[in-house]
Amino acid sequence: MPGAGAAPTAAPAEAARKPGRDRYLDLLRSVALVRVVAYHCFGWAWLTVVFPSMGVMFALAGSLMARSLERPAASVIRGRIRRLLPPLWAFAAVALVLLFAGGWDPSQDPDQDGAWGWAALVNYVFPFGAPPFPAEAGAPVDWLEPSWADQAVGPLWYLRAYLWFVIASPLLLWAFRRAPWPTLLAPLLLTAVVGTGVLTIPGETGEAVTDFAVYGACWVLGFAHHDGLLQRIPRYVSVSLASLVMAFGLWWASAHPGPEGWDLNGIPLAQATWSFGFVVILLQYSPSWRELPGRLAKWDGLVTLSNNRAVTIYLWHNLAITATAPVIDLAYRLPFMESDRASAALDSTSNVWMFALVWPLLALAVLAVGWVEDVAAKRRPRLWPARPGRPAGRRGRAPAAPHRG
């Protein structure tokens, strides 16, 4: 095992021989997105243990960021921010119209600081903080529940955390390549301080620092994957140590359950350690596919689509879930649904129908606003990018590998 001061190679030979997208990482991102949607449909706490999606997504983003930072850091950060903001603006335009139409006044919101509530709206433009929203919002249309803003806007904390990681990445990568192990383990130690009540930072600043700490080790693991550090550790060593870290996470969760019991989202230290170990194992076994093998090949189009529209899917999925409610309500009006038995059956399976219906609604969102990701990335806009596209002005050349917006 390399010592604490051993700097990993900046550009491993294997990565240099195999340019382009890693379809294994693309597959992991697609699975993570499906799991996020499933969690918000069913609310099953055990899903956070079976597949810690946010840790996986931050690790994949960290790996791609390390690869991009082979170019000048300033241009990379500008590019990442440029790709993030226009899709956010498209979502914010709809969310804010619904909020204001429902009668929300940020200056009168008890969760905001008077007139500063209006100033906080800048986070819908540049999410250095989490965009504000009322705990219970008015419903300008019948199908919106009072909690719709919490469901739809609340998950935008991810954009704040992603932005912080992007801005900090040049410094983090510099530190990692000089002291890999201290840099890798520091976020876990920080989580043990700010995520357990040893040190409490109030307000949104505390939430932002906690998120940065909880997922910081996963982001740095992305650096380790890109630089080949994990591959230089014997597999039995890394998997054994990762399993011990994961076991600690489960033990901590059992001894310190969150508001929703075993839901790791409410237990920062358990989330950080479980996600860390889980990601180590996923990346240690990373096969670096150029193409999806075997039976997985039939999912190639959907994997490509979800990676090209990852930001759109994440931004819009909760609003799409909320929009399934009136569709399900229509089913109760069908003639064969008049019996109590039929209504009870629909009641017991409503979450399943919600999960089934959300995908057509997300497909509509992809068609309606997904092209904004292409514009943000300076690509030719496409309505349904399920295949690798060609860069503008290169029609006579082979298709280029897709890249995330």
Kindly state the average pLDDT of the residues 49-53: 98
Q: What is the pLDDT of residue 399?
A: 33
Environment class of 207 (CB within 10 Å of its CB; exposed 0-12, middle 13-18, buried 19+): middle
Would the pLDDT of 11 be above 50? no
Q: What is the pLDDT of residue 389?
A: 54
State percent of the chain over pLDDT 70: 91
Given pLDDT bands bounded at 50, 70 and 90, which one contains residue 19? low
pLDDT tens, 176-194? 999 999 999 999 999 999 9
Span of 42-46, 170-174, 347-351, 400-404 with lowest mean pLDDT: 400-404
Would the pLDDT of 404 be above 50? no
pLDDT tens, 132-175? 999 888 888 888 888 999 999 999 999 999 999 999 999 999 99
Helix 268-284 with 53-68: angle, nearest 10 deg: 60
Kindly state the average pLDDT of the residues 379-388: 92
Q: What is the pLDDT of residue 337?
A: 84
**Model pTM?**
0.90
Would the pLDDT of 223 be above 60? yes
The closest alpha carbon to 325, from 7, 118, 41, belongs to: 41
Q: What is the pLDDT of residue 403?
A: 33
Token pair, residue 333, equals 């009006």
The identity of residue 111, as a single letter, is D
